[in-house]
Structure 1
Amino acid sequence: MRINVLQHTPNEGPGMIADWAQAHGHALYTYHPYQFGHLPTAAETDMLVILGGPMSPNDDLPWIKQERQLIAALLATDTPMFGACYGAQQIVKTLGYPITKAPVKEVGWAPVYRESTIIPGIPAQLMALHWHEEMFVIPVGATRLFSTPQVANQGFVLNHHVIGLQFHFEPKADNVREMVVNDYPYIAGSVLKQTAADILATPVPPENRQVIATLLDYITAGSES
């Protein structure tokens, strides 16, 4: 399987998603459209991963619109797709729904709560890394997967092949350090009231590796080759 990854900032890479791909023998191709302007075609994409970034789907940039054209083509063919933060918002925007400011800014470690048992093996509560201040609605036909008390729509699954999460399960410890040391000014104003030191001192929960694998296994079931 060829997994095409859309990365939108140097400090937010695929993390444990790359580990999962390697364990399954899949080929990972990482694109940086914000820098180079290149995107894969739908025909050469067996699975698409859309990572987070500092931009908004509402930004008027050609490559952001081109990403949505790719997403639309893959949605039409039920191609497996996983979006994190901005990536999830891009999927929802492609489906025709607005992306708006969240009632609060969430940056740091905080629990997320399971809202559906549609995907077996997901614990009722998990600790995730949050790095956002915009939010999506749950598309019609999708199932809400996760919530927090501050922002109800934290994750969804659509048609068994598409998952979008507002937060991050994918970072490993090195990834968290990279996010914090490069983007620490963004932490200011978060409702979670954590400092950069607080975030760095919190270990990545070991169960996050299994959860991200469970989510990716679910959307690719029957598609792997």
Structure 2
Amino acid sequence: MRVNVLQHTPNEGPGSIQEWADLHQHDFYVYHPYQFGILPVAATTDLLVVLGGPMSPNDDLPWIKQERQLIKQLFQEGKPVLGVCFGAQQIVKTLGYQVKKAPVKEVGWGPVKLQSKLISGLPESLEVLHWHEEMFDIPKEADVLFSNANLQNQGFVLGKQAVGLQFHLEPEKDNIKEIVVNDAQYLSGSVFKQTTKQIIEHPVPKENKRAMFRILDYLTE
């Protein structure tokens, strides 16, 4: 299987997603369309992972629209897509639904609770890294997967076709350091009111990697 990853900023990489791919001996390719303008093609994509980034899917940039064309083609071919943060928003926009300003800005560690049993083996709650101030509508074809007290639409599952997460399960300890030291100014105004030190020193729950692996297994079973 060939796993193609779309990365949108240097400090938000695939983290444990790459570990999952290596464990299963999948071919693993990372693209940087925001910098090089190059995207994979559907014919050589068995699983597409669309990562987070500081941009919005509402931005009028050619590569953002080209990403959605790729997602649309993969949907037509029945190939799975995982979206994280901006990536989940891209899936929603591809399906014709809205991405808009969230009622609160979530940056830092916070809980989410499971809302659907469609993916077996996921824990009832997780402590995850949030890094966003926009939110997506849940497509009518999809089920709400995760919610919290701040935002109902924290994740969705669209059959075996797609999973979208507004938060981050993929970062490992060093990945979180990289995110924080390069984007610390984004903490301003967050509902969690955490410092850079608190975020970096917060243990990465082992359940996060297990949940990410379970979601990836579900999409590729």
Fold agreement, TM-score > 0.5: yes
Pairing of 1:1-225 with structure 2 (within 5 A): 1-221=1-221
Gaps of 5+ in 2: none
Find the aligned partners of 1:29 and 1:36 in 2 and give their Cα distance. 14
- Answer with 75-84 or 9-18: which moved more: 75-84
Question: What is the rounded CA distance, in whole Å, between the counterparts of 1:160 and 1:30 in structure 2?
Answer: 23
Give yes or no for contact 1:129–1:167 (8 Å, CA) kept in 2: yes
Separation in 2, partners of 1:105, 1:78:
34
Deviations 1:89-125 (A, max 9, x none): 0000000011100000000000100001111111111
8 Å CA contact 1:144, 1:156 repeated in 2: yes
Return the offset for 1:32: 0.2
Report SS of the residue matched to 1:102.
strand
Residue-by-residue CA offset, 1:162-215 (whole Å, 9 max, x unaligned):
100000000000100000000000011000111111101101001111110000
The worse-fitting range, judged by mean Cα deviation, of 49-58 and 204-213 is 204-213
Q: Secondary structure at the match of 2:41?
A: coil
Q: Which runs of 5+ in 1 are unaligned?
A: none
Report the AA paired with residue 157 of structure 2. V
- 2:121 match: secondary structure: coil
Letter in 1 for 2:191: V
Alignment: residue pair count? 221
For residues 1-35 of structure 1, give each alpha carbon's deviation from its aligned partner in whole angstroms, at most 9, with x where no partner exists: 01000000000000000000000000110000000
Separation in 2, partners of 1:148, 1:159: 22
What is the CA–CA distance in structure 2 between the aligned matches of 1:160 and 1:69, rounded to whole Å? 19
1:161–1:218 contact (8 Å) kept in structure 2: no
Runs of 4+ in 1 over 6 A off after TM superposition: none
Distance in 1, matches of 2:177 and 2:148, equals 24
Q: CA-atom RMSD, angstroms?
A: 0.6
Q: Deviations over 1:65-92 (max 9, x none)?
A: 0000000000111211100000000000
**Structure-2 separation of matches of 1:130 and 1:111:** 9
Measured in 1, the distance between the counterparts of 2:44 and 2:131 equals 31
Q: Is the 8 A contact 1:7 1:13 kept in 2?
A: yes
Residue 161 of structure 1 and its aligned partner are, at CA, apart by 2.5
- Partners in 1 of 2:177 and 2:100 — Cα distance? 28
Q: Percent identical across equivalent pairs?
A: 62
Q: Distance in 2 between matches of 1:115 and 1:189?
A: 28
Please give the alpha-carbon distance, in whole angstroms, between the structure 2 residues aligned to 1:142 and 1:78. Answer: 15
TM superposition score normalised by structure 1: 0.97
